[in-house]
Amino acid sequence: MNKFTGQNQFKFKVDTNWAKLPEGWTFKEVGGVGVDSQDRVYVFNRGEHPLIVFDREGNFLKSWGEGLYPRAHGVTMGPDDSIYLTDDGNHSVRKCNLNGDILMTLGSPGESSNFMSGKPFNRCTHVALDSNNGDIYVSDGYGNAKVHKYSPDGKLLFSWGESGTGPGEFNLVHNIATDRDGYVYVADRENHRVQVFDKNGNFETQWKNLHRPCGIFIDNQNTQICYIAELGATMAVNINYPNIGPRVVITDLKGNILEKLGNDTKTEVTEISDTLKIKIGPNPTEFTSPHTISVDSSGDIYVGEVSWTTSGQHLKPPREIKSFQKLIKL
């Protein structure tokens, strides 16, 4: 069975069994993943143990956050090895230390703003940090169409965006990242694009060569390469279309595609209804629903998938599907 994907400088060996969970534990599915300065990996999942920490070899180190995070969605690592956890189920962002102690909270956990009110938060999705001054950007995407900018101490500075398809408008603000120069990259998922803004929220450009970009990570420590998780299609009419995912896409910071990972495989397709089908990628190099992505100091990629939401819960009987894998750079 082929366990390799990509080619040339972007060739990887896939390890689907990298995470060594304690007996009886599962992820259920993985909403977010981050890597700290020691290459420890933080898997933010929707199982009973929401934040699980592994060393670089996949050995279990600890878990925390039990009972606090009803719907794990995003992980962002701070420059001081703090960690920002975005939970769209309780409409909040928590900044924690690496032991799980809460240092700051954005939003009111359990309380949402009105749908499409533009006020923080209604099912916020992710956080990005300006490495130059510590400013915080929050994508507020499921029940709003906004990006909110905060000062490092949590003061709301301003917001931008509205529902729509034009420049600076959003159709599900799903993820967000920044580069070394402070530009802001927004995964505008259902508009099938990444939009780029300056730090004042002014539209700069857009990349329209993507399909449902779900997760975005820019390697600011090393290469300034961008890694994008594409969720893939679910409609019965297009689920078998080639070249639209589910997959991981690697680009430069102009949006030029350098490599596509997981796009060369055939996945099992199961019909749920006349209008809905699901893909299940059970084999190495195959994806079901890439949702989150991060990269360590060696260029290895960690991909989390929301495979329960998109697929597993619809099966008869329902079952958990592979939701996490490591792509080891060769």
DSSP 65-114: -TTT-SSEEEEEE-TTS-EEEEETTTTEEEEE-TT--EEEEESBTTB-PP
- Portion of the chain with pLDDT greater than 70, in percent: 94
Q: What is the mean pLDDT of residues 6-14?
A: 93
Question: From the CB of residue 225, how many other CB atoms can be counted at a distance below 10 Å?
Answer: 19
Res 80: pLDDT: 85
Best-predicted range by mean pLDDT (77-86, 189-198, 228-237): 189-198
Res 279: pLDDT: 67
For residues 130 and 224, give the distance between their C-alpha atoms in angstroms, rounded to a whole number: 14
Residue 282 falls inside a structural domain? no
Residue 3 falls inside a structural domain? no
Res 262: pLDDT: 85
Residue 179 falls inside a structural domain? yes
Res 59: pLDDT: 98
Res 269: pLDDT: 58
Q: What is the mean pLDDT of residues 32-61?
A: 97
Separation of first and last alpha carbons in the chain:
18
Q: Which range has the worst mean pLDDT, 11-15, 211-215, 236-240, 266-270?
A: 266-270
Residue 176 falls inside a structural domain? yes
pLDDT of residue 1 exceeding 60, the answer is no
Average pLDDT along the chain = 92
Q: What is the mean pLDDT of residues 163-190?
A: 98
Angle at 212 between CA 206 and CA 217, to 5 degrees: 70
Residue 184 falls inside a structural domain? yes
Residue keyed to tokens 């530009």: 183
Q: Are 99 and 90 spatial neighbours (Cβ–Cβ below 8 Å)?
A: no
**Number of domains the chain contains:** 1
For residues 50 and 66, give the distance between their C-alpha atoms in angstroms, rounded to a whole number: 6
Res 265: pLDDT: 46
Residue 15 falls inside a structural domain? no
Residue range(s) defining the domain that contains residue 203? 25-261
- Checking DSSP bridges between strand 162-163 and strand 169-170, what pairing results, if any? parallel
Task: Report the predicted TM-score, pTM, of the whole model to 2 decimal places.
Answer: 0.95
Q: Are 143 and 112 spatial neighbours (Cβ–Cβ below 8 Å)?
A: yes
Q: What is the mean pLDDT of residues 33-37?
A: 97
Residue 288: HSE in the Cβ half-sphere, 13 Å Cα cutoff:
28
Res 283: pLDDT: 74
The phi-psi region of residue 37 (left if phi > 0; otherwise alpha if psi is between -120 and 50; otherwise beta) is: alpha
Q: What is the DSSP letter of 21?
A: P
- Which CATH number do you get for residue 86? 2.120.10.30
Res 280: pLDDT: 72
Amino acid identity, position 121: F
Candidates 162, 3, 173; CA nearest to 86 is 173
Residue 316 falls inside a structural domain? no
Residue 322 falls inside a structural domain? no
Q: Are 305 and 282 spatial neighbours (Cβ–Cβ below 8 Å)?
A: no
Angle at 256 between CA 255 and CA 260, to 5 degrees: 105
pLDDT of residue 71 exceeding 70, the answer is yes
Res 235: pLDDT: 76
Q: What is the mean pLDDT of residues 69-89?
A: 95
